[in-house]
Amino acid sequence: ILFSIGLACEAGARSDHIISAFNNYIDIEGRSKIYKGINNIKIIDSTYNANPASFRASIDLLTSMKFKSWVIMGQMGELGANSEKYHTELAIYAAEKGVDKLFVLTDHNEAISSAFGKDSYIFDNKFDLISKIKPLLQRNTNVLVKASRYMKFETIVDELIS
């Protein structure tokens, strides 16, 4: 957004027009859109796509916010033979950045949970994940929901904001 504002300034746009456009900006679903969820939590919906670099950036966004940081991690697709390595590296990164809880639904659940350590939870399906996390949610918690598109994790986001 800042880059766009800079370009608009360079192009000669008036500041009142830039401010109006910024105030009318609508986030795109699945692209780090932030929702208010149940019990007044914040949900970062990053369900459109996932790769190691975008996942790290999403974790950085999450941990830059005040309060508790939880991650719901789904499968990152198209990583080939190194898939487990990339997933476990992200679990370690999340732990190092101070993520408080990790909820995992991937092909590498055990390895990811082991890499993250305490307060990681593994699931075989979205229904069980949602059933586990919903009663745990309380004020002052931010939840990142991230997975490759084919995982359809937007259904998890929908459950956490309703």
This prediction has a pTM of: 0.81
Percent pLDDT > 70 in the chain is 89
The per-residue DSSP string of 131-156 comes to HHHGGG--SSEEEEEE--GGG-THHH
Q: In what order do the strands lie in the sheet with 120-122?
A: 33-36, 42-46, 141-146, 68-74, 101-105, 120-122
pLDDT at 1 over 70: no
pLDDT number for residue 131: 95
Q: What is the pLDDT of residues 22-43, one digit of tens each?
A: 555 555 555 567 878 788 899 9
pLDDT number for residue 22: 57
The radius of gyration of the chain's CA atoms, rounded to the nearest angstrom, is: 17
pLDDT at 127 over 70: yes
The per-residue pLDDT of the chain, averaged, comes to 87
Q: What are the residues facing 143 on neighbouring strands?
A: 43, 70
pLDDT number for residue 120: 96
